[in-house]
Structure formats: C-alpha cells, structure tokens
DNA sequence: ATGCCACTTCAAGTCGACTTGAGGTCAAGC
DNA sequence: GCTTGACCTCAAGTCGACTTGAAGTGGCAT
C-alpha cells in the first residue's frame, strides 16, 4: 500500500521526524492516521514537503507558507498576493546579485580597501538601494557552506528583524 | 567637525542605537571615543554599516561578516573564500528565481492544484535541486510585504503582548 | 547648583523553527 | 508473555540578532 510511516517520510525527504511533527502541528502537512501511535502519511506529503522546503529556501516563514498554499498545494490566498511575493523575491534577487558581484569583485580587486574602490561602492549602492526606498530591513539567505572547506556558515534559523521604531 | 554622536549615526543610518552598540560589541564597527558616556564615531562608520546591512541582506551572520571584512572594508580572509561565497550566492539566486517563477505561475495558472501542473512541478524541481546535493538546510530570505498592501507579515506591534511564560 | 534626559551598562526577554529530554505506549520479535 | 526500540506527548532548551528594562552617569541649560 501507499501509506508511509513517519520514519519513512523522514528518510525519503531528509526532514527529521521532529520537524515533521512540528509541521503537522503548524498545519503544513497532515497525517492520514496512525498505526499504533505512529503517524502515517500519504506519499503526496513528499511533494508538500518539497514545496515547504522551497518556500523556506525562499525565506518565507512557516506561517506564510501555510497561508500561501494549503496542504494540497492550492493557493489559499489571492493570486495578487502571490504575485506580490514574486515581486518581493525579484527585488531580493537583484540585491543578491549585487552582493554576489561585490564579493566576486572583492576577491579579485587589488585595492587595499574596497571602500575606496569605486566599483565596489557601486555594487554596494545597488544592493543597498532596495533597503532604502522601502524602508524595511529584510533578511535573506544564508547560503550554505560551499565545498571549499571554509565553511563558516553554520546556518540556523532565519529571523525577521523587527521593524525598527526608534523615535 | 566630522565626529558623529551615536544618535546621529542611528538617525542617518536607520540602525537603532542598541544595534549599533551590539555591532560594536561584535567588532563590526568601532567608535573613536566618548563624549561623556556617549560613543562617537567617524563618518566612515556609515559606509561600514551599509556593508553590514548588505551582508545581512545576503544572509550572512554577523560573525561571518566580521570574518569577511575588517571594519575598514578590507577583506580579512582569503579571496578564495570570498569567491566561494559569491558562488554560494549564485546558487541561492537561481533557487530564488525558480521560486519567483513558481509563484508568478501560481498566481496565473488556472489549475486547481499546482501540484498537478507540470510547469509548477518543474519550477519546484529546479528550486529543490540545490537543496539536494549539498544536504544542509540552508535558509534564505524573508522578503517583506511589498507595497501592495497585501502585507501578511505582521510586523511586531510596538507593544509587547503580556508575557505568558508560566511553567 | 540643579535638573533634565539622552545616553550608559548589564541582565534578561523575544521570536521562529526546531531540537532535546523525560516519561509513556505499543506492535513485533523471541 | 516479555522485552525492545521506535515512536508518542509535552515542556523546556537552543541559536542569532537584537530589544527591553532597571539603575546609573554626566553634559548642558537654567
């Protein structure tokens, strides 16, 4: 039969069982019953998990993901909102591109201090551009350690910076 | 004269004073002295803060940023690492693009469930691609509500709800 | 000289997404 | 029929980046 036991789902998806329980509690996935105490899931949960992972990778919170898509992958809220999210992502992408170019340049440029390099400053300006107009510090990706062995990034939790309200 | 008082820096940069103190403690910026108790900074701190904001926007932790650049904006660690970070960012960007396209499509596609739409699934596959090879749950951006008025992201209200930590 | 009050320090709290731990349950294998 | 071990629940802990609160300090205007 098609029913998957939680450990099966964990194994196939790479998502720890504890996280699966957490997702279920949050309403992101649902189990179709129990075998004894054990949760059992339909195989489609694997697709749902992929969608969740994708949303998380794009920086959405679990709550946002739950609001964007039902467990069936059907958009729950209006399409305009999805389009807006897409637009947000687009702005995000442009900032990341500037950051990437800045880093790339920093790795190659011989200038002693990048702050004095006009090219670098230009990237900086581009990247900062978004943060300025809209006035909102958003947070983005923690790209993971590349294979360089330089892994400084031990990633963990995202965070939304609280809106700053200083008088 | 050029020295800026902390409140000045906060005002000009949009970064709360408490965060500035935090950054100083972390070694991301430095004050050049005190006037009474008040920290004073050189104007260049504004550039440094822009760099920090940029790094944060790209998803790096404060520690990583501190390791990548000294307070002077000079790369502290080897250039290969910076290039590697750039490559990471590049992979990230591609995932985000897939997510964006997926959302864009979800907003337009009439299919009842996106899980059944081949196009959507393809975006999903692309976006999920990176997550698989590296096997590390990376986290990315939390783009904020765009200006569409669709803001689902409740930013923290200024007043804290009553603490409920009963145990 | 006095008061104001924006700053200071330091400890503790917050938020999200989980993880960890203690104590409990149960289908299965011997 | 008893042990085993993977699962269960629920509370509490963790991590990063700050924020908040209490209590203190000192420049500046009166």
DSSP characters over B3-69: -EEHHHHHHHH---HHHHHHHHHHTSS---EEETTEEEE-TTHHHHHHHHHHHHHTT--HHHHHHHB
Q: Which residues pair with A142 in a beta bridge?
A: B139
Compare all CA atoms of chain A with the CA of B14 and give the residue at the minimum distance.
A164
Residue B139 to residue A152, Cβ atoms within 8 A: no
Residue with tokens 């709360």: B16
Question: Judging by DSSP bridges, how do beta strands B4-5 and A33-35 pair with one another?
Answer: unpaired
Q: State the angle between helix axes of B6-13 and B45-57 in degrees (0 to 180), rounded to the nearest 10.
A: 50
Quote the CA–CA distance of A96 and A100 in Å, as a whole number: 6
The reported pLDDT for the residue numbered B35 is 95
> What pLDDT, in 10s, does the model give residues B6-53?
999 999 999 999 999 999 999 999 999 999 999 999 999 998 998 898
**In this complex, is the C-beta atom of A27 within 8 Å of any C-beta atom belonging to chain B?**
no
Whether A130 and A95 have beta carbons less than 8 Å apart is answered as yes
Residue B3 in contact with partner chain A when CB distance is under 8 A:
no
Q: For residues B143 and B96, what is the distance between their CA atoms, to the nearest angstrom?
A: 11
**B137 at the A interface (CB within 8 A)?**
yes
Portion 147-166 of B in contact with A at CB < 8 A: 147-148, 150, 152-153, 155-156, 158
State the pLDDT at residue B145: 41
| B144 closest CA partner among B156, B161, B126 | B156
Looking at CA atoms only, how far is residue B92 from chain A in angstroms? Answer: 6
Q: Which nucleotides of D are covered by protein (CB under 7 A)?
A: 6-9, 11-12, 15-21, 24-28
Phi, psi of B163 (to 5 degrees): -65, 140
Domain boundaries, chain B: 4-68, 79-134
- Nearest nt by C1' to A165 Cα: D19
Which residue minimizes Cα–C1' distance to D26? B36
Cβ contacts (< 8 Å) between B145 and chain A: which residues?
A: 84, 88
Residues of chain B with pLDDT under 50: 130-167
At B131 the pLDDT is: 46
- Reported as type and span, the H/E element at residue A104 is helix A79-108
A102 touches chain B (CB under 8 A): yes
Please report residues of B whose CB lies closer than 8 A to that of A88.
Answer: 143-146
Nearest chain A residue to B19 by CA: give it.
Answer: A164
Q: Given this model, what pLDDT does residue B83 score?
A: 87
Chain B interface mutation, best of A92, A98, A105, A123, highest count of B Cβ atoms under 10 Å: A92
* Beta-carbon count within 10 A of B62 CB: 16
CB A115 within 8 Å of CB B75 = no
> In CATH, what number does B4-68 get?
1.10.1660.10
Go through chain A and tell me how many residues it has. Answer: 167
Parts of chain A with a pLDDT under 70: 1, 73-78, 127-167
Helices (H) and strands (E) in chain A, counts: 6, 3
Q: What is the largest CA-CA distance in chain B?
A: 66
For strand C, which nucleotides have at least one atom less than 7 Å from a protein CB?
A: 6-9, 13-20, 24-27
Residue A73 pLDDT: 67
Would you say the C-alpha torsion B50, B51, B54, B60 has a positive or negative sign?
negative
Cα–Cα distances (Å) from B158 to A165, A167, B70, in that order, read 8, 11, 34
Query: Which residue on chain A is closest to B141 by alpha carbon?
Result: A140
CA distance A119 to chain B (A): 13
Query: How near does any CA of chain B get to the CA of A3, in Å?
Result: 19
From the centroid of its chain, how far is CA A49? Answer: 13
Q: What is the pLDDT, as a whole number, of residue A157?
A: 37
């Amino acid at each position: 039969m098609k029913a998957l036991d939680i450990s099966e789902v964990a194994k196939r998806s790479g998502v720890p069982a504890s996280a699966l329980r957490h997702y279920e509690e949050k309403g992101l996935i649902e189990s179709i019953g129990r075998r004894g105490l054990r949760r059992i899931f339909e195989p489609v949960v694997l697709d749902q998990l992929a969608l969740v992972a994708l949303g998380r990778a794009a920086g959405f919170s679990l709550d946002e993901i739950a609001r964007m898509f039902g467990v069936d992958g059907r958009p729950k809220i209006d399409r305009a909102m999805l389009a807006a999210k897409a637009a947000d992502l687009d702005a995000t992408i442009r900032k990341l591109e500037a950051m990437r170019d800045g880093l790339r340049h920093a790795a190659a440029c011989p200038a002693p201090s990048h702050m004095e390099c006009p090219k670098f400053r230009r990237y900086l300006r581009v990247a900062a551009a978004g943060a300025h107009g809209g006035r909102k510090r958003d947070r983005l990706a923690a790209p993971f350690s590349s294979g360089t062995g330089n892994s400084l990034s031990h990633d963990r939790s995202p965070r939304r910076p609280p809106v700053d309200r200083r008088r």
